[in-house]
Chains A and B, each alone.
Chain A
Amino acid sequence: MTELFLIGVVGLLFSMAAFLFMSRSTIRLVLGTFLLSNATHLSIFISGRLTREVPPLVPDGLKVPPEAIANPLPQALILTAIVISFALTAFIFVLVYRAYQELGTVNADEMRVAEPKDEDPVPFDVLPVTQGKLDRKAGARGPASVAPGAPAGAAPQGAGK
């Protein structure tokens, strides 16, 4: 019964995280990361089976615990995962803030510095060939002079980056 309830909670957390992760605002992405890691840690917890047993400690003088104990391994896994996700989330917070400072936006759709929308295309016939011979002089003047579809004056436009 408890397991069913927790599984439902984990599913709810995953769906909320998925919704936030499909958002455009990077701040919502960070919140989605939070929820996603919490949901994952809870799912590891559930997979270790929920019991109402004593803590996993061996009393003095014995080599094995005398009675049934809670499973310590999922606890160790979750602790490691929490520490790791804490460090990563701290980094992501600062990264989002620095990106906001540099790029001036938190809208991921508008962050187009790395993949610009309009690049200078390079035609496939980069080396112009006239009458079967390589036209070196025409190439020296640039593709704009021979390829009709290429943007005129590729140099000044591109220099404005």
Chain B
Amino acid sequence: MSAVFSEWLVVLPLLVLLLTGSIAVTLWRSPAQAGIVILGLILYAIASALLFQQVLLEGPQAMAMGNWPAPFGIAFGVDLMGAGLTLTTSIVGLLTAFYAMGDTDQAQQEAGFFPLLAFLLAGVTGAFLTADIFNLYVWFEVILISSFGLMVLGGRREQLDGAVKYAFLNLLATTFFLLATGILYGLTGTLNMADLAGKVGALESDGPVLTLALLYLMAFGMKAAAFPLFFWLPASYHTPNPVVSAVFAGLLTKVGVYALFRVFTLIFGDVDGIVFTAIVAVAIATMVVGVLGALAVSDLRRVLAFTVVGGIGYMLLGLGLQSELAILGGLFYTVHSMVLSAALFMGSGIAHKLGGTTQLSRLSGLYGAAPLFSAFFLMCAFSLAGLPPFSGFWPKFILVQASLEAQAYVAAGAVLISGLLTIIAIGKAWNAGFWRPALEGAGVSPTLTTGSAGYRQLIVPFAMLSLLMLSLGLAAGPVSEIAAQAAADLLDPAQYIEVVLPPAPVESPAYSEVPGGGL
């Protein structure tokens, strides 16, 4: 491949999505938006696959926007973690767009559901592809504003209630991120991540650097729904349409996790060990509190929201242990959680339509009404609980092994205990909603029956996502090898730094006072 094409390939997924969203917005109020966006998402998936193949074969790729050389311009840099997460995002996004054809009504589609989805995916992709920390903040805000739109589309009371809590707390999180970036610029004088890696690494790990690291942990931890700043997630994720919940649960928290992985391996990789101990402590608390919350609530979608929170704990544990095996486990869990969370929320949407409600006290008899759907849901439930051969087993197993190797026995115990409690929580939901014979007089009114066209529109994407989850589990060997390569690249980012920031000296203009002399 020529050098120019491989440079363009770095941003091709992003450009496809931005173009798709823009064209769809010009067709406001027209039903053609759905077709345009789905076509664009197919092209986006192809571009992501090409990019992933390129990065897998030839290592990290980079491109400088506008040909302004790094570190003066905005650089985009993709390593295996970014490319793998972009590929997963494209598949999950495409399948949720198909699901949305059956889950959103005409009014919502005309009001711009599909362009908002395209811009949301553009924000997620941009966050995975950028190598400039302020550009990362901009993509976070693109995600945020698109998610605001998707959250309130429909205008129901509980949506507005959830949106108020979601909006304020996420706004607070991104403002903390901006504050931390401003202070980091004041400390080092640069915004390019590869340049920051060198400059922050050269600083001593005292006051300002430690404060910054913990401020970033708080900002990204809040976006990723880590303990104790996760309460916006169970307050809001179950309120919009199930397809919106599926996209949010699959993608948005994982962008926060990605940012944590990037910042704490590349930029703050050499900081004092107390920060990583803090990350492990936060991870253990998130795992345990998340699954305890799942045990406490009795609405199917709120149970799933709490299990999403618990899943974040596993990813953070992989980051905090800082060994290659642990980061491998964390990355594997991230990919698995993207697919599984989206699938589970899609399943909860179908359960709502078939059963008339998601309140577990009144939902019943789904196995009798729809055995095939129940089988797929059971597969997803087993994967959530971490049972082989589904994709949930392998990353948990790897994380336990990594915890024992790092002598973090509390962490290993927390992984096992929260796995057990997850089995109980999801088993209770399965027993109540699916296995229990249909209750008489429950006062529910199903809006869908199996065999209708609307049911087929919903069940096919859900089944495909479940089968993808199953194949992730069955193909755990190759996936682990790719994750191992990505983890090695994260722990030793020399190749990424060299590609993003070529070591050519550039004469810098004469600023009177340049930040970078330390505080």
Residue among A37, A40, A46, A122 with max Cβ neighbours from chain B (10 Å) = A122
Asked if B185 contacts A47 (CB within 8 A), the reply is yes
Asked if A29 contacts B168 (CB within 8 A), the reply is yes
Asked if A88 contacts B186 (CB within 8 A), the reply is no
Asked if A141 contacts B440 (CB within 8 A), the reply is yes
Residues of A within 8 A of B185 (CB): 44, 47-48, 73-74, 77
A102 to B156 CA separation, bound complex (whole angstroms)? 8
Q: Which residue of A lies closest to B441 (CB)?
A: A155
Q: Which residue of A lies closest to B361 (CB)?
A: A120
| Cβ of B134 under 8 Å from chain A | yes
Q: Which residue of B lies closest to A154 (CB)?
A: B361
Q: 1/0 per position for B347-378, CB-CB distance to A under 8 A?
A: 00000000001011110000000000000000
| Cβ of A51 under 8 Å from chain B | yes
Given A46-B186, A99-B160, A155-B441, answer yes or no on A127-B431 (Cβ-Cβ < 8 Å). yes
A59 to B510 CA separation, bound complex (whole angstroms)? 14
Asked if A95 contacts B182 (CB within 8 A), the reply is no
| Cβ of B163 under 8 Å from chain A | yes
Residues of B within 8 A of A65 (CB): 509-510
Asked if A95 contacts B511 (CB within 8 A), the reply is no
Given A122-B428, A124-B428, A139-B437, answer yes or no on A40-B175 (Cβ-Cβ < 8 Å). yes
State how many angstroms separate the Cβ of A149 from the closest Cβ of chain B. Answer: 13
Asked if A120 contacts B359 (CB within 8 A), the reply is yes
Asked if A126 contacts B432 (CB within 8 A), the reply is yes
A84 to B434 CA separation, bound complex (whole angstroms)? 45
Give residues 74-102 of A contacting B (CB, 8 Å).
74, 77, 80-81, 84-85, 87-88, 91-92, 95-96, 98-99, 102
Interface size on A, residues (CB 8 A): 64
Residues of B within 8 A of A152 (CB): none
Give residues 121-158 of A contacting B (CB, 8 Å).
121-122, 124, 126-127, 136, 139-143, 154-156, 158
Residues of A within 8 A of B509 (CB): 64-65, 69
Asked if A70 contacts B512 (CB within 8 A), the reply is yes
Residues of A within 8 A of B438 (CB): 140
State how many angstroms separate the Cβ of B55 from the closest Cβ of chain A. Answer: 29
| Cβ of B297 under 8 Å from chain A | yes
Asked if A155 contacts B178 (CB within 8 A), the reply is no
A120 to B141 CA separation, bound complex (whole angstroms)? 38
Residues of B within 8 A of A117 (CB): none
Asked if A80 contacts B138 (CB within 8 A), the reply is yes
Interface size on B, residues (CB 8 A): 66
State how many angstroms separate the Cβ of B233 from the closest Cβ of chain A. Answer: 11
Asked if B515 contacts A122 (CB within 8 A), the reply is no
A127 to B440 CA separation, bound complex (whole angstroms)? 15
| Cβ of B7 under 8 Å from chain A | no
| Cβ of B513 under 8 Å from chain A | yes
Asked if A40 contacts B160 (CB within 8 A), the reply is no
Given A98-B160, A119-B298, A119-B299, answer yes or no on A43-B179 (Cβ-Cβ < 8 Å). yes
Asked if B439 contacts A158 (CB within 8 A), the reply is no
Q: 1/0 per position for B103-146, CB-CB distance to A under 8 A?
A: 00000000000000000000000000000001001100100110
| Cβ of B162 under 8 Å from chain A | yes
Asked if A102 contacts B361 (CB within 8 A), the reply is no
Q: Which residue of B lies closest to A37 (CB)?
A: B175
| Cβ of A1 under 8 Å from chain B | no
Residues of B within 8 A of A92 (CB): 167-168, 171
Select one of A112, A126, A154 contacting B431, CB under 8 A.
Answer: A126
| Cβ of B481 under 8 Å from chain A | no
State how many angstroms separate the Cβ of B377 from the closest Cβ of chain A. Answer: 16
Asked if A67 contacts B510 (CB within 8 A), the reply is yes
Q: Which residue of B lies closest to A39 (CB)?
A: B179
Asked if B164 contacts A111 (CB within 8 A), the reply is yes
Asked if A95 contacts B234 (CB within 8 A), the reply is no
Q: Which residue of B lies closest to A137 (CB)?
A: B437
A139 to B360 CA separation, bound complex (whole angstroms)? 14
Asked if A71 contacts B182 (CB within 8 A), the reply is no
| Cβ of B8 under 8 Å from chain A | no
Select one of B134, B172, B428 contacting A126, CB under 8 A.
Answer: B428
A103 to B152 CA separation, bound complex (whole angstroms)? 14
Q: Which residue of A lies closest to B170 (CB)?
A: A88
Asked if B141 contacts A84 (CB within 8 A), the reply is yes
Residues of A within 8 A of B183 (CB): 43, 47
Q: Which residue of A lies closest to B438 (CB)?
A: A140
Asked if B362 contacts A48 (CB within 8 A), the reply is no
Residues of A within 8 A of B141 (CB): 84, 88
State how many angstroms separate the Cβ of A51 from the closest Cβ of chain B. Answer: 5
Give residues 161-191 of B contacting A (CB, 8 Å).
161-165, 167-168, 171-172, 175, 178-179, 181-183, 185-187, 191
Q: List 13 A-B contacts (CB under 8 A).
A: A33-B171, A43-B179, A47-B187, A49-B515, A68-B512, A69-B510, A77-B134, A87-B145, A108-B165, A119-B359, A120-B359, A140-B439, A158-B359
